[in-house]
């Protein structure tokens, strides 16, 4: 996805014809974020496709699918493909993403190197398609290994499809890299309410004919095991080319390798300022910066604020930054009974991190303040977490309250009228947008008794 | 008793005027748009009649002393003509410029365009309609191949299933239109309102979304993505009636609901709710207004919503489709007949040789003598008094220093002119800066046609004679054209000019050739296109769109965001708009005593008020990189806490606004810029 965004940026800057894309996958790029929506059934798989092959061709971009790069030869400025052909470059960008880390569970990988048929990874469109295929066999139950964002999404997606799901998480609470233990507890409880059992502090050790064995002695009987544990930067090409790799390929503010001015890296495979990310928005931000850099414009990547949003039915989570690592004052409101836990970390008046679980009201506003680093008022962070005051029922309108904005008529002037016709004639209320008509009728119906008498008189007059 | 229409907005509500001694009285009249209803601006429209603020003699200002002196019409017109000639001789024809307005009748707009091209020979003419619906016009031309605000009568929205209003506060800006919304709801239909402020229009909505100013575009992208993901797009319609969907489908795949939420501040669940509402409706009508259009990416924003309507298969379907709620009284007609820098009458493009030949023949001039494309409104004003820019400006029907963005800068441009002439009925803020001010008639004192937001050509009938000393804009044009020895003929009778306009528009996209004053009177207006022998076209696109292949175009658009993002120094969004009791720059409405003129105010949320220490009714200062203004705070819970709102009817708001322009419509970014507020 980082590469796709970079190519869009290069095309927009007129560099399409100078661009070659070498992709290992057979699909044109697609939006990986939405895989769990496909699994859940809310998205057609086709709606994930980003640009089609023709789009690249129309813009002069040389897109080569099924092209696995095996080496970068920095001395000759060429890359070598699996079929031993080479492609020359002026600048090469590594957007190789991450590889899923398979948890060490015995029995998952069979003797011949293939996965046990009950086991599914969940990272690519192909994984998703395979998993959807297995659903045709109507599995009764599924165990999700990993209680992170992806694990929760997959668990919810399968549960929505009527499959009994369980989650196994090695750490002591759910979403442990994003939220604190009490928010994790709220989440666990919410998952239980939704019918998903969660096993914490438990590692799956072995897959046998009986089921998935945990290190706490339990065995979970299951037809389906989905591995959602994390990934790590895919940096083997960079390593082979003797570029500096820590966790990821180390790049500077121009996303340039610290070793070679003609090699760049963006997305999950890159490490900037000590950070690697597994999220789309920083990858896209990097792609935008790099498009500028490659077009010869001044641009610098200065890190990115991450907002992680869970996409799952009936489970609301939004994590801003790293609430467990960020220093600051913590404003927190929790109601475990209702299943809500809302926390903001505030430093120098700015929201520097936060976690909203179970209640996303004002999430749009909070995210804006976080992204823009708005300096808030003293009470504001707290007020943002409080429920919005509900509108109280409208009190009796005072005589000077404006009832009809179109004609500028007060309640008192309406009360002085005898009938709707009278209102129209003398005040012109109700003759504009018509929005005040219900209020006018109500005011006429609830006039003081004296005037009701005159209304009776009026009807008597009408009969004589 | 004279049947006519309201002088103000694009609804052009029907009304009847009766003479009561020297004064005029407004009474209701049945007309399909307003069905007898009027807002307080309409009811009090005759209030300027007999006002002491009316100008009744030409005024000339001494540049040295700044003093005004009265002049006769001959003196004033002689002076103007001689100065225009001298400037043309010295600097070339483009030294003289003309600035028109979307409130002028079709006859005036036509005559003004002809005057610029034939009498002055200048390419430098544009009008304030650029600041109105030009982004929707540009989008309509790209998608449909034609630009008519609403391609169906307004009352059609009563029969739709879901009506989505993007950036429209019609309940306050054109109140009688809200009756159609109410009837839609009585019929079981749903109303969706998208606005950074919960307005009286939003109060009527079944679903109200409150995005950050400048993010209606990604919201549309996200809605289209969800429709596609749910399989709710009309594949048959797309295949048969459109081109370009595949690229759009792919580009919106990058806009999942949580991404939209992050950018627009609208919760993902609400984006889903809107998509579900649209997916399950048979008839959807999407309407945009200034809130969506007045942006540096206004055209792209409208196109994004047009894509939604097209993907659902709505345009051309009965009681469904896309439309723009034009703002000014003749915003539609004003752009069709030649006061726009790039157009000739009949919505012909000025760089089209066939269009030039046709119009040259009607005008009786050589096609080569018609100048080419000039500068757009803001660029024209920005160039005034600069070495390469115009040295004079003639202004008709516009109060530039109140309504232009970055107004302090524009006032400085006007000050650098050799000659500024303003035709107005009162001493507006712009007139006050002029060298010569010419007093002109108001609507009840003249006859002419207007084209309302539906593309319906209507007739305003003269109800009363003009005060002594006041002339029609058409008389001024003729007076100057004659003095300049212009080729062609220069009638002053509106009916005669309309006949010429009909001939000039014949065969163009906005073809008026089959429309006559009598037909307009008999038929409650006539919808263009109306070639001779046609009944007119109330509903467009049932068979074909206006591109050569008959298909509508999906246009792939990207979100760039507002030209000016908030910073540490300017941490808020500023947006601008209207209040019910005032109209545009307020030159007329602020002088009508029955309309409350409470002055500008700054609307802000209690959270923000608390942050900056503002109190309701006490003054606050709003600053942007271009200027500042002070006005009382109005603390309301109906606005986003990260946004402030200032109405633009008074001097001030547009000292703050950003002059960044849309690349295709040249619309300035009135609706969002970065701002700071302090108590």
Domain at A2-98+232-294, CATH from 1.10.3720.10, 3.50.50.60, 3.40.1160.10, 3.40.50.2300: 3.50.50.60
Residues of chain A in contact with residue B568, where contact means CB-CB under 8 angstroms, are 373, 375
Q: What are phi and psi of B440, to 5 degrees?
A: -120, 165
Query: Residue A463 pLDDT > 50, yes or no?
Result: no
Q: Which residue of chain B has the CA closest to A4?
A: B254
Residues of chain A in contact with residue B253, where contact means CB-CB under 8 angstroms, are 30-31, 34, 47-50
Query: Residue A459 pLDDT > 50, yes or no?
Result: no
Query: Residue A455 pLDDT > 50, yes or no?
Result: no
Residues of chain B in contact with residue A367, where contact means CB-CB under 8 angstroms, are 261-262, 265
Q: B566 in helix, strand or coil?
A: coil
Q: Which residue of chain A has the CA closest to B610?
A: A377
A36-56 pLDDT, tens per residue? 999 999 899 889 988 888 899
* CATH superfamily, region A316-385: FAD/NAD-linked reductase, C-terminal dimerisation domain (3.30.390.30)
Contact B269 A360 (CB under 8 A): yes
Six token digits for residue B421: 């002439």
Contact A376 B266 (CB under 8 A): no
**Every domain range in chain A assigned CATH 3.30.390.30:** 316-385
Residues of chain B in contact with residue A371, where contact means CB-CB under 8 angstroms, are 262
Q: Is A223 left (phi over 0), alpha (psi -120 to 50) or beta?
A: alpha
- pLDDT for A461: 40
pTM, two decimal places: 0.94
B103 strand-pairing partners: none
Residue owning tokens 């209701």: B28
Average pLDDT over residues A364-377: 96
Q: Is the dihedral of CA B492, B494, B496, B500 positive or negative?
A: positive
For chain B, list residues with pLDDT below 70: none
Residue owning tokens 């009585």: B186
Report how far residue B643's alpha carbon sits from residue A28's, in angstroms, rounded to the nearest whole number.
Answer: 40
Q: Roughly how many angstroms between the first and final C-alpha of chain B, as a whole number?
A: 52
* Contacts with B, A 24-83, CB within 8 Å: 30-31, 33-34, 37, 42-44, 46-52, 54-55
- pLDDT for A394: 62
Contact B607 A428 (CB under 8 A): no
Contact A433 B178 (CB under 8 A): yes
Six token digits for residue B293: 């259009």
Is residue B65 packed enough to be buried (19+ CB in 10 Å), middle (13-18) or exposed (0-12)?
exposed
- pLDDT for A451: 46
Q: Which residue of chain A has the CA closest to B201?
A: A435
Contact A380 B607 (CB under 8 A): yes
Average pLDDT over residues A219-236: 90
How far is the CA of B479 from the CAs of A321, B216, B338, B422, B439, in angstroms? Answer: 69, 47, 20, 15, 14
Q: Could you tell me which CATH number the domain at A402-463 has?
A: 1.10.10.1100
Please answer whether residues B321 and B152 qualify as being in contact, where contact means their C-beta atoms are separated by less than 8 angstroms: yes
- pLDDT for A27: 80
Average pLDDT over residues A238-265: 96
Looking at residue A245, the DSSP 8-state letter turns out to be B
**Every domain range in chain A assigned CATH 1.10.10.1100:** 402-463
| Residue A364 touches chain B, beta carbons under 8 Å | yes
Q: Can you tell me the ipTM of this complex? A: 0.91
* Contacts with A, B 162-201, CB within 8 Å: 171-172, 175-179, 182, 200
The CA-based angle A327-A331-A335, given to 5 degrees, is 130
Report how far residue B574's alpha carbon sits from residue B670's, in angstroms, rounded to the nearest whole number.
Answer: 9
Contact A434 B249 (CB under 8 A): no
A353-363 pLDDT, tens per residue? 999 999 999 99
Q: Which residue of chain A has the CA closest to B612?
A: A377
- pLDDT for A406: 87
Query: Going by C-beta distance under 8 Å and a sequence separation of 6 or more, which residues neighbour residue A178?
Result: A148, A149, A308, A319, A322, A323, A324, A355
Higher model confidence: residue A268 or residue A278? Answer: A268
Report how far residue A212's alpha carbon sits from residue A225's, in angstroms, rounded to the nearest whole number.
Answer: 8
Query: Residue A304 pLDDT > 90, yes or no?
Result: no
CA distance B611 to chain A (A): 4
Chains A and B: how many Cβ contacts under 8 Å?
A: 144
Looking at residue A398, the DSSP 8-state letter turns out to be P
Closest in B200, B247, B611 to A376, CB measured: B611
**Every domain range in chain A assigned CATH 3.50.50.60:** 2-98+232-294, 119-229
Q: Which residue of chain B has the CA closest to A391?
A: B637
- Confidence class of residue A341 from pLDDT cuts 50, 70 and 90? very high
Chain A interface, mutation test: which of B158, B267, B564, most A Cβ atoms within 10 Å?
A: B267
Q: Which residue of chain B has the CA closest to A45?
A: B229
Q: Mind listing the domains of chain B with CATH numbers?
A: 2-48 (2.20.25.90), 59-131+330-492 (3.40.50.740), 143-325 (3.40.228.10), 572-678 (2.40.40.20)
Q: What are phi and psi of A293, to 5 degrees?
A: -60, -45
The H-assigned helical ranges of B63-165 are 73-91, 106-114, 134-144
Please answer whether residues B109 and B100 qualify as being in contact, where contact means their C-beta atoms are separated by less than 8 angstroms: yes
The H-assigned helical ranges of B280-368 are 290-293, 298-311, 331-334, 353-363
Domain at A119-229, CATH from 3.50.50.60, 3.30.2130.10, 3.40.50.300, 3.20.20.140: 3.50.50.60
Residue owning tokens 């806009």: B255
């Amino acid at each position: 996805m980082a590469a796709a965004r970079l190519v869009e940026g290069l095309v927009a800057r007129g560099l399409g014809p100078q661009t070659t894309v070498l992709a290992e996958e057979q699909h044109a790029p697609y939006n990986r974020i939405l895989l769990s929506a496909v699994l859940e059934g809310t998205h057609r798989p086709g709606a994930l496709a980003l640009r089609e092959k023709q789009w690249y061709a129309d813009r002069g971009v040389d897109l080569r699918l099924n092209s696995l790069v095996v080496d970068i030869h920095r001395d000759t400025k060429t890359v070598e493909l699996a079929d031993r052909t080479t492609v020359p470059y002026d600048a090469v960008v590594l957007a190789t993403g991450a590889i899923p880390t398979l948890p060490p569970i015995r029995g998952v990988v069979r003797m011949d190197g293939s996965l046990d048929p009950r086991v599914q990874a969940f990272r690519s469109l192909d994984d998703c398609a395979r998993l959807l295929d297995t659903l045709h066999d109507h599995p009764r139950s599924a165990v999700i290994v990993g209680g992170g964002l992806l694990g929760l999404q997959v668990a919810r997606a399968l549960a929505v499809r009527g499959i009994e799901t369980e989650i196994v998480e090695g750490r002591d609470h759910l979403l442990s890299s994003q939220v604190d233990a009490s928010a994790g507890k709220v989440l666990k409880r919410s998952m239980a309410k939704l019918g998903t059992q969660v096993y914490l502090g438990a590692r799956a050790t072995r897959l046998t004919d009986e089921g998935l064995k945990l290190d706490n002695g339990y065995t979970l009987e299951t037809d389906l095991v989905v591995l959602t544990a994390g990934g790590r930067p895919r940096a083997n090409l960079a390593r082979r080319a003797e570029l500096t790799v820590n966790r990821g390929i180390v790049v500077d503010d121009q996303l340039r390798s610290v070793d070679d001015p003609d090699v760049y890296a963006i997305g999950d495979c890159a490490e900037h300022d000590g950070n690697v990310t597994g999220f789309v928005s920083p990858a896209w931000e990097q792609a935008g910066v790099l498009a500028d850099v490659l077009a010869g414009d001044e641009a610098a990547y200065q890190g990115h604020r991450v907002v992680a949003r869970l996409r799952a039915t009936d489970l609301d989570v939004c994590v801003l930054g790293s609430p467990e690592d960020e220093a600051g004052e913590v404003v927190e409101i929790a109601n475990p009974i209702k299943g809500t836990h809302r926390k903001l970390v505030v430093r120098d008046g700015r929201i520097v991190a936060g976690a909203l679980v179970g209640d996303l009201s004002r999430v749009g506003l909070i995210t804006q303040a976080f992204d823009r680093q708005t300096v808030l008022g003293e009470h504001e962070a707290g007020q943002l977490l409080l429920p919005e005051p509900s509108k109280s029922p409208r009190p009796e309108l005072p005589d000077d309250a404006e009832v009809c904005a179109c004609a500028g008529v007060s309640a008192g002037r309406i009360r002085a009228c005898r009938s709707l016709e009278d209102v129209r004639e003398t005040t012109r209320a109700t003759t504009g947008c018509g929005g005040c008509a219900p209020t006018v009728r109500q005011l006429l119906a609830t006039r003081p008794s004296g005037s009701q008498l005159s209304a009776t008189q009026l009807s008597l007059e009408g009969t004589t | 008793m004279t049947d006519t229409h309201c002088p103000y907005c694009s609804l052009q509500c029907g009304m009847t005027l009766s003479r009561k001694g020297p004064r005029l009285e407004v009474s209701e009249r049945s007309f399909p748009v307003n069905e007898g209803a009027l807002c307080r601006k309409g009811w009090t429209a005759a209030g300027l009649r007999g006002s002491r603020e009316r100008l009744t003699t030409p005024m000339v200002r001494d540049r040295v002393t700044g003093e005004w002196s009265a002049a006769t019409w001959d003196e004033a017109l002689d002076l103007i003509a001689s100065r225009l000639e001298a400037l043309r001789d010295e600097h070339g024809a483009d030294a003289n410029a003309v600035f028109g307005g979307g409130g002028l009748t079709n006859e005036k707009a036509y005559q003004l365009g002809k005057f610029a091209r034939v009498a002055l020979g200048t390419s430098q003419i544009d009008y304030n309609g650029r600041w109105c619906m030009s982004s929707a016009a540009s989008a309509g031309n790209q998608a449909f191949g034609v630009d008519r605000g609403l391609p169906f009568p307004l009352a059609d929205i009563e029969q739709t299933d879901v009506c989505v209003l993007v950036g429209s506060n019609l309940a306050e800006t054109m109140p009688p239109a809200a009756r159609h919304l109410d009837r839609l709801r009585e019929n079981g239909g749903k109303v969706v309102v998208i606005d950074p402020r919960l307005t009286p229009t939003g109060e009527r909505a079944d679903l109200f979304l409150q995005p950050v100013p400048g993010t209606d575009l990604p919201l549309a992208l996200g809605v289209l993505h969800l429709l596609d993901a749910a399989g709710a797009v009309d594949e048959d319609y797309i295949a048969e009636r459109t081109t370009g969907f595949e690229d759009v489908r792919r580009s919106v795949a990058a806009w999942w609901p949580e991404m939209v939420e992050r950018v627009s501040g609208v919760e993902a669940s609400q984006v889903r709710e809107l998509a579900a509402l649209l997916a399950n409706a048979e008839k959807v009508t999407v309407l945009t207004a200034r809130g969506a259009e007045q942006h540096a990416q206004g055209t792209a924003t409208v196109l994004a919503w047009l894509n939604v309507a097209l993907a659902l298969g709505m345009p051309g379907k009965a009681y469904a489709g896309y439309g723009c709620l034009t703002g000014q009284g003749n915003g539609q007609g004003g752009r069709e007949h030649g006061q726009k820098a790039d157009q000739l009458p009949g919505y012909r493009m000025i760089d089209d040789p066939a269009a030039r030949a046709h119009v040259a023949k009607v005008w009786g001039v050589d096609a080569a003598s018609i100048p080419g494309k000039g500068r757009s409104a803001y660029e024209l004003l920005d160039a005034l008094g600069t070495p390469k820019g115009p040295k004079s400006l003639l202004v008709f029907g516009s109060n530039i220093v109140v309504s232009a963005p970055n107004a302090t800068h524009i006032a400085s441009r006007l000050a650098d002119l050799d000659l500024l002439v303003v035709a107005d009925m009162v001493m507006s803020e712009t007139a006050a800066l002029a060298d010569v001010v010419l007093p002109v008639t108001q609507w009840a004192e003249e006859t002419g046609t207007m084209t309302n937001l539906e593309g319906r050509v209507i007739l305003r009938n003269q109800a009363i004679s003009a005060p002594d000393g006041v002339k029609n804009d058409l008389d001024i044009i003729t007076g100057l054209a004659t003095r300049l020895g212009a080729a062609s003929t220069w009638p002053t009778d509106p009916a005669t000019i309309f006949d010429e306009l009909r001939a000039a528009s014949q065969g163009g996209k906005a073809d008026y050739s089959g429309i006559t004053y009598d037909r307009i009177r008999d038929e409650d207006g006539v919808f263009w296109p109306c070639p001779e022998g046609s009944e007119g076209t109330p509903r467009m696109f049932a068979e074909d769109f206006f591109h050569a292949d008959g298909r509508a175009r999906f246009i792939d658009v990207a979100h760039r965001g507002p030209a000016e993002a908030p910073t540490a120094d300017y941490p808020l969004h500023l947006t601008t708009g209207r209040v019910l009791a005032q109209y545009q720059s307020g030159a007329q409405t602020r002088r009508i005593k029955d309309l409350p003129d409470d002055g500008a105010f700054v609307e802000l949320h209690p959270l923000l008020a608390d942050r900056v220490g503002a109190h309701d009714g006490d003054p606050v200062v709003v600053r942007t990189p271009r200027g500042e203004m002070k006005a009382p705070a109005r603390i309301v819970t109906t606005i986003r806490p990260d946004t402030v709102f200032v109405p633009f009817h008074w001097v001030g708001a547009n000292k703050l606004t950003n002059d960044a322009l849309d690349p295709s419509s040249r619309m300035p970014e009135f609706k969002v810029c970065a701002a700071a507020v302090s108590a």
